Amino acid sequence: MSRHLFIVSNLLIVLQVFLLVFCFVDLSVLPQLVLFTGRFHPVVLHLPITLILLSIPFSIYLQRNKDAENLSTLFDLLLHYTALISTLTALAGFLLAAEGGYDEESLRFHKWLGVAVAFSTHALVYIKKTFRQRAIVWNTAMTTTLVTMLVGSHYGGSLTHGEGFFTFNADPKPSIAVATFTDKTTVFDGAVQPILAAKCVECHNDQKTKGGLNMKNLSSMMKGGKSGSMWVAGDPEKSPMVERLLLDMDDKKHMPPKGKAQLSAAEILLFQEWIRAGANPKTTYHSLPDTNVLRTIVAKIIKDVPVPKLEKTYSFSAASTSTIETLNSPFRRILPLSSTSPALSVKFYLKEKYDLNMLKECKSIASQIIEVNLSSMPADDNAIPVLSSFENIERINLNGTLISGKNLNILKANKQLEQISLASTSVGLPMMDALGNMPNLKKVFLWNTSITEADIAGLRKKYPKVGWDLGYIPDKNELLKLTIPRFLDADKRIFGPDELIAFKTQMKGVQIRYTTDGSPPDSLSSTLYTKPFPATGMMRIKAISVAQGWKTSDTADNTFFLKGFKPDSIRMINPPDKQYKGQGALTLTDLVKGSSGNLNVNWLGFRDNSFKAGIYFSKGEEIKEILLSTVESVDGYVMPAKKIIVKGGESPGSMKVLKTLVPEQPKEKRRKHLIPFVIPVEKKKYKYIEIEATTVNVLPKWHPGKGDKGWVFVDEVFFY
């Protein structure tokens, strides 16, 4: 015996001892990693099958050719390996089974037959030594091994692929329930009972009544078992049956027991919902509303339940997906009514992409189209014959198209036509008779056409079957308020001498009237806005919108500024507060007005210091007026400056006071508003100007922050 064979035969003995041990101990206690090796069972199991089958030609040949010694040695080796692999397969099989989840019945046979194959192949190794002398013994042993292997494999296959996998059946996929759901079929008969029959009755029947429970039929179930009744109608959480279905697989009380065929999640849900709905055995499937949970679950589990009829059924067949796909584009969208419906709707998008051919091309799906939407497309009367060729069409939307309506009578041929929308088209009363006579027409939409209320009344009388809809007609007595005039550039408040102030175009028939002197505008005497106008200095424009048949709008009140001389440089003598420092001195001449709504941007704020800035004009400018733009916000402690002092001259060293201003202080709380100070000065050339605005250092008694310091805010300075 070669060394090689020696090792194999000894290894074989060791492994077979293991196999013997495996037969009698609980393997599920082994570590997961060891159990995992069991997963290789399905990988190796085909080897022993092959090797055993291969042994047959070998033994036949060797029995006939007695002197083929080399081949005999090879056969020895083959048999050793057959036994080795068979044993390994069996070992792996035990580990796999220990992970659980298999039907005990099939498993038992498979397991023992597998063990038998392992041992009998080992026996063959020894019998082979004398197989030429005692052919009968050898042949019997060989045949037994072969048969054991075949039967064992069959059970194995059943475990993996399910019972009956090897049994020929005309119905390829047997489903649980065979009942057809007629109007009278109850949920119990059609779904509940079949599941019980398939997965529970095996152990709970007349002969075998595990736990004292017989689930053969409803009356026997109602009797309950050893631990009481199966369910509490209406309360699945308290029902022992549901509890047992939901328990952990390893729990002793889990049903069906480990190893038996388990219920699917949907099936468990069915029991829960059936019990929740009262466990009524008389509830029929069709009595449940379409959206009922129980109904949905039944429909999911039972394959031959008819799909709930939530939609109209059509007799025509569906168009091919490829046809629909070729027609579909971003500008012509074809969609089925639902994922299961053959009916199609066609809608067109983007005016510039539409032409009649786009509609004509739909002929390949002519019989499936039930809806066409051409709204806003430049479709004209030529579209009507094409629409009529869609024999099953139900709804047509022609709102805002170019059709005249003169050939609408063509649609008489379309017996299914229910609704046609003609709003915002040029159709007229004479064409309405054609519509009134249509066999199935239920709704016609005529808003924004030449049809009048009187016409509609006549049509309703003449063709009462059709719903004539004229839509919204404004009430002549109801006056609505116009919106306030808006400026073309909503935020621009500073204009150069060559720039124009413009209002936005209003709706047709609306006039804008305005004043520039701060007086309230009226609809008669105030200036009528006809074209953009230039800003002349600081302008407070108050404007209203006026129109016949409308209420006059609220007043728009805005102040505009004219750009002045641009200083060469500007410096802050006192810095602004850290919180409101804007862009520093630049903020004052950046030509961006701050708004009273947001003091955080475009404004400089001063509290501890007064506002004090020096402005340089290196060549000197002839200045006659200075405009200091500030804001008042009583709530925010922002008050008008206490005093404004303007000095000017050739340089900081040589100036004189040009003007001192003491602004009026508020007497009570009032709305936030801008305060531009217009300061006239002696008209002459200045090279340097200094402006100081002091803060109110003690807020008055009426103010919520009385005694506290006030703020001064400045956003812009202009020089004219």
Contact residues: other proteins, CB under 8 A? 289, 291, 293, 296, 300, 308, 310-312, 330-331, 333, 335-341, 347, 349-352, 375-376, 395, 397, 399, 419, 421, 423, 443, 445, 447-448, 469-474, 478, 480-483, 486, 505-509, 550
Three-state secondary structure readout of 173-223: CCCCCCCCCCCCCEHHHHHHHHHHHHHCCCCECCCCEHHHCCCCCHHHHHC
Pairing state between β 654-661 and 643-651: antiparallel
Q: Closest CB to other proteins among 335 and 573?
A: 335
**How near is the Cβ of 447 to other proteins at its closest, in Å?**
4
Distances (CA, A) of 189 to 261, 291, 541, 690: 21, 21, 84, 100
Residue 577 buriedness (CB in 10 A; 0-12 / 13-18 / 19+): middle
Q: Closest CB to other proteins among 251 and 635?
A: 635
DSSP bridge partners of 623: 684
By the 8 A CB rule, do 467 and 418 touch? no
**CA 133 from centre of chain:** 80
Q: Closest CB to other proteins among 97 and 466?
A: 466
In DSSP notation, 374-396 reads -TTS---TTHHHHHHTSTT--EE
- For residue 256, cis peptide bond before it (omega within 30 degrees of 0): yes
Q: Closest CB to other proteins among 587 and 596?
A: 596
**How near is the Cβ of 345 to other proteins at its closest, in Å?**
9
**How near is the Cβ of 309 to other proteins at its closest, in Å?**
9
**How near is the Cβ of 47 to other proteins at its closest, in Å?**
24
Q: Closest CB to other proteins among 159 and 423?
A: 423
Distances (CA, A) of 404 to 378, 401, 429: 12, 9, 11
Q: Closest CB to other proteins among 347 and 709?
A: 347
Q: Closest CB to other proteins among 198 and 324?
A: 324
**How near is the Cβ of 444 to other proteins at its closest, in Å?**
9
By the 8 A CB rule, do 450 and 428 touch? yes
Residue 492 buriedness (CB in 10 A; 0-12 / 13-18 / 19+): middle
**Side chain identity, residue 296:** T
DSSP bridge partners of 716: 629
**How near is the Cβ of 278 to other proteins at its closest, in Å?**
16
**How near is the Cβ of 483 to other proteins at its closest, in Å?**
5
**How near is the Cβ of 40 to other proteins at its closest, in Å?**
17
Residue 517 buriedness (CB in 10 A; 0-12 / 13-18 / 19+): exposed
Q: Where are the beta strands (DSSP E) in 337-487?
A: 344-348, 369-373, 395-397, 419-421, 443-445, 467-469
By the 8 A CB rule, do 192 and 270 touch? yes
Q: Closest CB to other proteins among 347 and 563?
A: 347
**How near is the Cβ of 289 to other proteins at its closest, in Å?**
6
In DSSP notation, 552-613 reads PPPPEEEEEEE--PPPSEEEESSPPPGGG-TTGGGGGGSS---BTTBTTSS-EEESSS-EEE
**How near is the Cβ of 474 to other proteins at its closest, in Å?**
4
Q: Closest CB to other proteins among 90 and 359?
A: 359
Q: Closest CB to other proteins among 265 and 586?
A: 265
DSSP state of 333: E
**How near is the Cβ of 452 to other proteins at its closest, in Å?**
13
User: What does the alpha-carbon distance between residue 116 and residue 106 come to, in Å, rounded to a whole number?
Assistant: 16
Task: Please calculate the CA angle 478-483-487 and round it to the nearest 5 degrees.
Answer: 160
DSSP bridge partners of 335: 345
Sole residue written with tokens 């047997």: 174
Q: Closest CB to other proteins among 73 and 523?
A: 523
Q: Closest CB to other proteins among 338 and 357?
A: 338
DSSP state of 450: S
Q: Closest CB to other proteins among 167 and 313?
A: 313
User: What does the alpha-carbon distance between residue 120 and residue 419 come to, in Å, rounded to a whole number?
Assistant: 82
Q: Closest CB to other proteins among 249 and 350?
A: 350
**How near is the Cβ of 525 to other proteins at its closest, in Å?**
24
By the 8 A CB rule, do 700 and 665 touch? yes
Q: Closest CB to other proteins among 300 and 643?
A: 300
User: What does the alpha-carbon distance between residue 493 and residue 561 come to, in Å, rounded to a whole number?
Assistant: 6
By the 8 A CB rule, do 109 and 154 touch? no
**Side chain identity, residue 623:** I
Structure tokens at 63: 């029995």
User: What does the alpha-carbon distance between residue 425 and residue 407 come to, in Å, rounded to a whole number?
Assistant: 14
Q: Closest CB to other proteins among 370 and 714?
A: 370
Q: Which residues contact 114 (CB under 8 A, 6 or more apart)?
A: 89, 90, 93, 152, 156
Q: Closest CB to other proteins among 210 and 347?
A: 347
DSSP bridge partners of 556: 543
**How near is the Cβ of 522 to other proteins at its closest, in Å?**
20
Distances (CA, A) of 160 to 155, 165, 263, 592: 9, 9, 17, 81
User: How many CA atoms, within 13 angstroms, populate the side-chain half-sphere of residue 491?
Assistant: 7
Closest by CA position to 176, among listed 272, 305, 293, 271:
305
Q: Closest CB to other proteins among 112 and 314?
A: 314
**How near is the Cβ of 397 to other proteins at its closest, in Å?**
6
**How near is the Cβ of 329 to other proteins at its closest, in Å?**
9
**How near is the Cβ of 48 to other proteins at its closest, in Å?**
28
**How near is the Cβ of 286 to other proteins at its closest, in Å?**
16
**How near is the Cβ of 353 to other proteins at its closest, in Å?**
8
